[in-house]
Structure 1
Amino acid sequence: MSDYASPSKTRLWLDGDAFRAPAGTALPADIFASALAGWDAFGGIKAGFSRETSQDNTNLTIWNKKGTYRQKKGEKTETIKLRPVDVSKATALTLLQGGSIAETSTGSGIWEWIEGTDENFAFICRVQDGSEWKAFYLKKSTLANKPPETMDGEDLEGWDIEIIDLVPDDGSLSIRKFTSSNPLA
């Protein structure tokens, strides 16, 4: 039995939020605040989110050496996947990709979703376990692909979206991670 295991240092992220703002929007002074001024909330998110990193790696060998001698690494791509289930302003703006929503005629009560071609935006997602928090901030990101819409009576309507981080115009880090405690302390 381990003498080093500590349940107080494990996390079960049970609550979370995601927000979006115009690309380049600065990191809030408190990324864990209950309200983030200038940021639109996605609302309900089914089962949190996932962050994935992908990178192509090529093993290079030489004749007189067994195994890998050196490795050539490609560019890293970071993505965050989530499933908003509320038709919030943030969800609509993300799905519209820079487009708009317009009433078909004044007073008709019928609204047409007019998709744009692409749009960049800032993005924050965060999760909570009791008093512990973790968050990711992307100063500049974009929707990877237009997600399918499924209305089947089996599940909540929602959109499985994938957000790709983009290198900000100022060259700063493209994705930043924050926690409410320091495990190295």
Structure 2
Amino acid sequence: MSDYASPADARLWLDGDAFRAPAGTELPDDIFASALPGWDAFGGIKAGFSREPSQDNTNLTIWNKRGTYRQKKGEKTESIKFRPVDVSKATALTLLTGGSIAETSTGSNIFEWIEGDEETFALIIRVQDGTEWKAFYLKKSELASKPPETMDGEDIEGWDLEVIDLVPDDGSKSIRKFTSSNPLA
């Protein structure tokens, strides 16, 4: 039996939030604050999200060696997948990709969703386990593709969003990770 295992260091992320703002919006002073002025909340998100890094790698061999001698690494890309299940301002803005919503005629209470071409935005997504927090900040991101919309009576209506990170105009890191504690301390 291990003397090194620590259940106190294991995480079960039970709560979380996601926020969006115009691309280039600076990181808040406290990314874990209960309110983030200037950021629109997504509201309800179906349990959790996933961060998926990817990179193409090519094994390079040499004639007098067996196996991989070196590796040629492609560009790193990352995406975050999550599912908003309410129609908040942040959800609508993301789905509209730079578009708008317009009433079909004055007083009709019928609104058409008019999609735009593309739109970039900043994203904060964070999770909580008791007093521990983890968050990701993307200064510039965009929707990977138009998501399917689930309306089947078997699940909560929502949109499976995949947001990809883009290199910010100032050249800073495209995705930054934050925690409320330091495991190296």
**Equivalent residue number for residue 52 of structure 2:** 52
Superimposed CA distance per residue, residues 135-163 of structure 1 (whole angstroms, 9 cap, x where no aligned partner): 00000000000001121111110000100
1:110 aligned partner: 110
Partner of 1:163: 163
Give 5+ residue unaligned stretches, structure 2: none
2:77 counterpart SS class: strand
* CA distance, structure 2, for counterparts of residue 135 and residue 73 of structure 1: 27
Q: What is the match of residue 97 of structure 2?
A: 97
Q: Identity rate of aligned residues, in percent?
A: 86
CA distance in 2, matches of 1:44, 1:57: 37
Which stretch shifts more, 147-156 or 50-59?
147-156
Q: Number of residue pairs matched?
A: 185
- Cα deviation digits, residues 114-135 of structure 1 (max 9, x gap): 0001000000000000000000
2:69 is matched with which residue?
69
TM-score, normalised with respect to structure 1: 0.99
Looking at structure 2, the residues matched to 134 and 128 of structure 1 have their Cα atoms a distance apart, in angstroms, of 7
Unaligned runs of at least 5 residues, structure 1: none
Moved over 2 A (4+): none
**Counterparts of residues 119-138 of structure 1 (less than 5 Å):** 119-138=119-138
In the alignment, the residues of structure 2 paired with residue 52 and residue 85 of structure 1 have an alpha-carbon distance, to the nearest angstrom, of 21
- The separation in 2 between residues aligned to 1:33 and 1:19, in whole angstroms, is 12
Residue 83 of structure 1 aligns with which residue? 83
Structure 2 counterparts to residues 140-155 of structure 1, below 5 A: 140-155=140-155
Aligned residue in 2 for 1:24 = 24
